[in-house]
Amino acid sequence: MSMIKAVFRRELQSYFATPVAYVFIVIFLMLMGAFTFYLGAFFERGQADLRAFFNFHPWLYLFLVPAIAMRLWAEERKSGTIELLMTLPITPWQAVLGKFMAAWAFAGIALALTFPIWLTVNYLGDPDNGVILAAYIGSLLMVGAFLAIGAFLSAFTRNQVIAFVVTVVVCFSFLLSGFPLVLDAFSGWAPQLLVDGIASLSFLTHFENISKGVIDLRDLIYFALVIGTFLYANTIVLGWKQAD
Partner 1 sequence: MIEIQGLTKRYGRHTVVDKLSFDCAAGEVLGFLGPNGAGKSTTMKMVTGFVVPSAGSVRVCDHDIQTETLAAQKRMGYLPEGAPLYAEMTPRQFLEFIADVRGLSGSRRRQRLDEVIELLHLGPVLRQTIETLSKGFKRRVGLAQAILHDPDVLILDEPTDGLDPNQKHEVRQLIRSMSAQKLIIISTHILEEVEAVCSRAIIIADGRLLVDDTPEALAAREGGDLDKVFRQITQGATSTEQEAVA
CB nearer to partner 1: give 84 or 113: 84
Among 26, 39, 48, 84, binds partner 1 (CB under 8 A): 84
CB 129 within 8 Å of CB 211: no
Q: Does 220 participate in binding partner 1 (rule CB under 8 A)?
A: no
Q: Does 242 participate in binding partner 1 (rule CB under 8 A)?
A: yes
By CB under 8 A, the residues from 63 to 82 that bind partner 1 are: 79-81
Among 30, 39, 88, 124, binds partner 1 (CB under 8 A): 88
Among 34, 45, 91, 169, binds partner 1 (CB under 8 A): 91
Give dist(CA 10, CA 150) in Å, integer: 19
Among 14, 173, 205, 229, binds partner 1 (CB under 8 A): 14
Give dist(CA 218, CA 91) in Å, integer: 31
Q: Does 90 participate in binding partner 1 (rule CB under 8 A)?
A: yes
Q: How far is the CB of 244 from partner 1 (least distance, A)?
A: 8
Give dist(CA 31, CA 167) in Å, integer: 20
Q: Does 158 participate in binding partner 1 (rule CB under 8 A)?
A: no
Give dist(CA 191, CA 188) in Å, integer: 9
Three-state SS sequence of 54-103: HCCHHHHHHHHHHHHHCHHHHHHHHHCHHHHHHHCCCCHHHHHHHHHHHH
CB 66 within 8 Å of CB 147: no
| H/E run at residue 228 | helix 217-243
Contacts (Cβ under 8 Å, ≥6 apart) of 78: 158, 159, 160
Q: Does 200 participate in binding partner 1 (rule CB under 8 A)?
A: no
CB 166 within 8 Å of CB 153: yes
Q: Does 22 participate in binding partner 1 (rule CB under 8 A)?
A: no
Which of these ranges, 4-12, 164-172, 191-199, 201-209, lies near partner 1 under the rule CB under 8 A?
4-12
Q: Does 13 participate in binding partner 1 (rule CB under 8 A)?
A: yes
Q: Does 6 participate in binding partner 1 (rule CB under 8 A)?
A: yes
Which of these ranges, 148-156, 169-177, 180-188, 235-243, lies near partner 1 under the rule CB under 8 A?
235-243
Give dist(CA 144, CA 122) in Å, integer: 27
Q: Does 18 participate in binding partner 1 (rule CB under 8 A)?
A: yes
Q: Which residues bind partner 1 (CB under 8 A)?
A: 2-3, 5-7, 9-10, 13-14, 17-18, 79-81, 83-84, 86-91, 239, 242-244
